[in-house]
C-alpha cells in the first residue's frame, strides 16, 4: 500500500472510532431541503448504516415524490435502482430491489463519506465504489458527514473524485 493509502487507512480508523463512540445528531432534513427542492430530476441517495448520518426521512420524502434512486453493490461497482423494496445486502447495507436506472438520468447524488475536506474531496470507507461510479458524472454530488468530519485537508490519490458540496447537521458548503 502507498504512503497515501496508509494515511487514508489511519484517518478512516480514527473517524470510525469517533463515530462509534459518540452519540450523534441525526437530522439533516433542514439542510437537505433546499438542495432537494432545487432538483427536478432523480436523486440518488443511500441507505445509511447506524454510524452514518440518517437518510431514512429524506429517502421517504424522495420516494413519495418518485425521485429516489439507491445504489446496489454489484461486484466492484454500483448499480442504481428505483427502490420498490429493500433487502439485506453486502457490508450491512440495505439493497434496493427495483428497476435499474442509468446514472446519467440522475441530477444529484447524495454520497456517504467518513470525511470531506475544504477542497471538495471525500474520504469513503476504502472500497472505491463511489469514485468509480462518479467518474464522468455530469450532475451534482454532495456528501453527508457530521460537522466534526469536515476537515481542512485529506490525502488525495489520482482516482479520487472531487464533489460539489458537503452537508452537515449544521450547514451546507459548496465547493
Mean pLDDT of 68-75: 96
How high is the pLDDT of residue 122?
96
CATH of the domain at 125: 3.40.50.10420
**Over 80: is that where the pLDDT of 27 sits?**
no
Number of domains in the chain: 1
Q: How far apart are CA 150 and CA 45, in angstroms?
A: 20
Give me the DSSP letters along 46-96: ----TTSPP-HHHHHHHHHTT-EEEEEEETTEEEEE--SEEEE-GGG-EEE
pTM of the model: 0.91
**Over 60: is that where the pLDDT of 91 sits?**
yes
How high is the pLDDT of residue 89?
87
Domain span including residue 168 = 3-174
Closest CA to 9 of 157, 132, 148, 129: 157
Amino acid at each position: 500500500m502507498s504512503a497515501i493509502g496508509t494515511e487514508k487507512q489511519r484517518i478512516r480508523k480514527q473517524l470510525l472510532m469517533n463515530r462509534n463512540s459518540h452519540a450523534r445528531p441525526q437530522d439533516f432534513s433542514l439542510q437537505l431541503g433546499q438542495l432537494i427542492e432545487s432538483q427536478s430530476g432523480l436523486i440518488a441517495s443511500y441507505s445509511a448504516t447506524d454510524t452514518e448520518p440518517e437518510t431514512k426521512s429524506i429517502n421517504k420524502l424522495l420516494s413519495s415524490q418518485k425521485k429516489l434512486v439507491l445504489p446496489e453493490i454489484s461486484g466492484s461497482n454500483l448499480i442504481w435502482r428505483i427502490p420498490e423494496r429493500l433487502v439485506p445486502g453486502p457490508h450491512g447495507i440495505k439493497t434496493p430491489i427495483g428497476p435499474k436506472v442509468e446514472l446519467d438520468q440522475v441530477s444529484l447524488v447524495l454520497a456517504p463519506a467518513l470525511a470531506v475536506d475544504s477542497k471538495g474531496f471525500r474520504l469513503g470507507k476504502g472500497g472505491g465504489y463511489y469514485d468509480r461510479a462518479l467518474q464522468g458524472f455530469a450532475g451534482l454530488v454532495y456528501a453527508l458527514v457530521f460537522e466534526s468530519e469536515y476537515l481542512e485537508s485529506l490525502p488525495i490519490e489520482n482516482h479520487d473524485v472531487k464533489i460539489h458540496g458537503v452537508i452537515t447537521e449544521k450547514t451546507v458548503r459548496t465547493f
